[in-house]
Amino acid sequence: MPKFHGRHLLGVAALLVFFASVSAAQVSTLQGEVKDENGKPLPNAMVHIERKDIKGNYQVKTNKKGQYLHAGLPLGVYKVSVEVNGKTMDTVDNVRTKLGDPTTVDFNLAEAKARAEAAAAGMELNENRQMTAEQRRQIEEATKRRQEQLSKNKALNDAFNAGMEAMRAKNWESAIDSLTKASEIDPKQHVVWANLGEATMNLASAKPPAEQPPLIAKAMEDYTKAIEIKPDDAAYHNNYGLALARAGKYPEAQAELSKAAELDKPNAGRYFFNLGAILVNTGHNDEAYEAFKKAIAADPNYADAYYQIGVYLLSKAQVGADGKVTPAPGTAEAFQKYLELAPNGPNAASAKGSLQAISGSVQTQYGTDKPAPAPAAKKKR
């Protein structure tokens, strides 16, 4: 029998104490399965295991079958959560592990989503995170409605995008067909009604005069629906006003364009100009003059408004017995301002001819210049 010196005995005793402490450590195992929202095993999901009674954090990934296992965990109370793409998808709190058999914590992300929806709907779940039959029925109905809404949204987007593509190609009839379909899928989309109105107005412009009235009336209905849904959109009021003017409803057109200017003050000059254009084209020249003045007040650099004011004031010029022209005050200044702002504008030649005319004797024709064209109102998108 070998002899041990006292020092050696001491070392053996220390080893025995060490092994005794190791064998006395109490460890446990945590396992489970993770399924995705379709009920299929979810691989590579990160499972976080956070000890609650004392500090300790552990983690493990699921395998190809969506399973995970973490052995050697100290006995204790844990919070277990599953993370997918950096986002925590579900959590089970106060999990107490045990000696011997593994403690199982499974995750089903479809049920986790249902629980979240139940919480949002104000439904309380029982302590085992289970839903009652009624709660499950409600969640299933909500899920079905959501799926129907997603399908509806796709159909809406497809129809709307097809309509806009047809509009870009100036295929007005095709655009109307697609946008009408979109309006039937969801009648509460103001942008659908507004573009449907525009497509219909463009189709009316392409038709002979006798075929235009019913199309213009339909476009006005579409604009009205857009405004009912979104009454604070200045562009809708502007385009509706132009449609009203095409239908001969001038007071209503003035009201809509004035509303557009009120809603969108930075672009008020354009709306007042459109109002003036309508009034000129309907023979209401004095009222048009006031509208053009408002356009300039709103936008001092609105060149076309200065030109139209010049044309109006030119009509007020006095011709003496000697044939000399006495222009109304502000006439020359209006044309000069137009040329300053738009020296190469479409009315530059006419403005120069008018200035020459009022600086000398009146002529039956202003040189070779053509009469000033009536202003065209512009749509705003």
* pTM for the whole structure: 0.55
- pLDDT above 70 (res 51): yes
- pLDDT above 80 (res 104): yes
Which one, of 250, 227, 267, lies nearest residue 380 by Cα? 267
- Domain 232-359, CATH class in plain words: mainly alpha
Superfamily holding 26-121: Carboxypeptidase-like, regulatory domain (2.60.40.1120)
Q: Summarize pLDDT for 234-262 with one digit per residue, the tens.
A: 999 999 998 998 888 888 998 999 999 99
Give me the half-sphere count of Cα atoms (radius 13 Å) on the Cβ side of residue 145. 7
**122 is written with which tokens?**
């104000």
How large is the average pLDDT for residues 306-319? 92
26-121 with 232-359: one CATH topology?
no
Helices (H), 169-208: 172-185, 190-206
- pLDDT band (50, 70, 90) for residue 26: confident
pLDDT value of residue 7: 45
pLDDT value of residue 306: 96
Q: How far apart are CA 19 and CA 21, in angstroms?
A: 5
Where do the structural domains in the chain lie, given as residue ranges?
26-121, 232-359
pLDDT value of residue 332: 93
Distances (CA, A) of 367 to 132, 288, 320, 351, 361: 91, 26, 20, 12, 12
pLDDT value of residue 121: 57
Q: CB–CB of 49/57 below 8 Å?
A: yes
